[in-house]
Each structure stands twice: as structure tokens, then as C-alpha cells.
């Protein structure tokens, strides 16, 4: 897999990293923008990239549902999955 494609501006890895960053901040508008961005941009890469985009979409939907309900129980699982998407083992860590 091309590492450059993995970290392109619209890649699931990049969108997951942005969402993690926004989640940690105290900026609800920034979080909403990151959720929109993560859910909106489809991946047009290889099959693995499309699978990561689908996973990101599901995580985003779950986080939105939690926020809408005013609850964050279970968010750690979503955050762990986002970390796995944003920082895949061995990808560009040289």
C-alpha cells in the first residue's frame, strides 16, 4: 500500500486523527465539524481503504448518537478504534 495515499487529506486515517483531536478539545463546534468531515468524505482508494472509511463512518455515527443522548459511556471503545485508524501500526513511523 502506498503510504502517501494512507495519509492523504481525505484518508480515513487523517479524518480519524482530526476527530480524535477535536474530541479532546473543549470546542463543540470543532467537534461537530470533525464529525461532519469524518462522515461525509467517502474513500475512493483500494478495498482496505474503503473498509477503513466504512469503519470510520460507523464510529462517527455512534459518537453522534452518544452526544445526542448526552451520554459518553462507551466512548472509549470508539476512541480506541479511532486511534487504530489514525495511527496504524508501522505506517510511516520511521
Predicted pLDDT of residue 90: 58
| CA 41/CA 62 separation, integer angstroms | 17
Q: Is 73 helix (H, G, I), strand (E, B) or coil?
A: coil
Predicted pLDDT of residue 94: 40
Has this prediction a pTM greater than 0.85?
Answer: no
Predicted pLDDT of residue 1: 43
pLDDT under 50: residue ranges of the chain: 1-6, 93-94
Q: Which CA distances in Å does 18 have to 13, 47, 55, 69?
A: 9, 22, 15, 23
Amino acid at each position: 500500500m502506498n503510504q502517501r495515499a494512507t495519509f492523504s487529506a481525505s484518508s480515513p486515517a487523517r479524518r480519524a486523527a482530526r476527530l480524535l483531536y477535536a474530541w479532546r478539545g473543549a470546542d463543540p463546534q470543532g467537534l461537530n465539524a470533525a464529525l461532519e468531515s469524518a462522515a461525509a468524505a467517502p474513500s475512493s482508494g483500494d478495498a482496505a481503504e474503503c473498509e477503513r472509511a466504512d469503519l470510520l463512518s460507523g464510529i462517527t455515527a455512534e459518537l453522534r448518537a452518544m452526544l445526542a443522548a448526552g451520554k459518553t459511556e462507551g466512548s472509549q471503545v470508539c476512541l480506541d478504534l479511532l486511534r487504530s485508524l489514525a495511527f496504524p501500526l508501522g505506517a510511516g513511523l520511521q
